[in-house]
Copies of this chain bind each other. A is one copy, B any other.
Amino acid sequence: MAAAEEGGGGMAVIRDKGEMRSWSRSRRKAGGGLALVPTMGYLHRGHLSLVEEAKKRAQFAVVSIYVNPGQFAPTEDLDSYPSDLQGTSVGWRRWGSMPSSAPPTFTTMGKAAALEGKLVSCVEDRGGEGAGHETWIRVERLEKGLCGSSRPVFFRGVATVVAKLFNIVEPDVVVFGKKDYQQWRIIRRMVRDLDFAIDVVGLEVVREIDGLAMSSRNVLLSPTERQQALSISESLLKAKVAVENGETSCEGLKASVTWSITQAGGRVDYAEIVDQENLGVVKRIRSPVVFCVAAWFGKVRLIDNVEISL
């Protein structure tokens, strides 16, 4: 993969754990802060906003690209998850061709490093370096509910792999998107509970022009499903407006969102209003909440949310 080793805009591609750590340590020793953006590859403009934030917060940015088998259950869509791991620089090139949205800083980005999948594998039955892995991190309350209900091994996989990335990259800052709201809260809690010296930043959901939350899975939607999926963001926005106009009962709000998505042709996995901090289910809105939705369109499961801060 000699081509990818070069990348563009001074980017370096690193594929070895020891090399990654040396790279980070030499930068930090020189005094430059270091920010990490963990991704599962297939980079889209939502990721770009994370990288932009990373570059604001630190002198150096590292983007990890890793489709983590540890967070997919055997029945889930690991195999169909869009991946460009075979060419880690594809995502960067894609950005390079988006002059209107890519800031000038992007092409002059000092250094960005991509870790590739197999080196941080922690799924024992796949053999290789991860063989025998048996250490798992659980954030016991926050991992329950929402996506944790329908994806029971998801968050232990996320927390464990993110901790590995922290120990390999040793960043000062890590940037997540709040589209994965529960993930963001879980990582914040893990960092606090385990005393990682890392600032966890969460960025607002980045949306397509019609409101659909950006996701690597969107490319899997048929044109019809793509249109139907707008029911998520549209109904969430309506719910937010309703709360701003005085509605406090969650039951009606949830029924309305579920109805809208179902009417459009989707299948709701959950539509839940929870406390922004502890993700506990809320019945009547009296403090800041987040309205979280997961829904299927065809074979694609999408998630989205809106924060509603009174």
A contact set with B: CB distance below 8 Å: 17, 21, 29, 120, 122, 133-142, 159-160, 163-164, 167-168, 170, 189-190, 193-197
Contacts and interface: CB of A to CB of B under 8 A. Distances in A.
28 contacts: A29-B29, A120-B195, A122-B193, A133-B193, A134-B139, A134-B140, A134-B141, A134-B189, A135-B137, A135-B139, A135-B140, A135-B159, A135-B189, A135-B190, A135-B193, A135-B194, A136-B137, A136-B138, A137-B137, A137-B194, A138-B138, A163-B194, A164-B194, A164-B195, A167-B194, A167-B197, A168-B195, A170-B197
A125 to B, nearest CB: 14
Contacts of A167: 194-197
Contacts of A134: 139-142, 189, 193
Contact of A194 (B140, B160, B170, B193): B160
Number of copies: 2
A197 B135 CA distance: 16
A119 to B, nearest CB: 10
Contacts of A142: 134
Contact of A17 (B139, B190, B195): B195
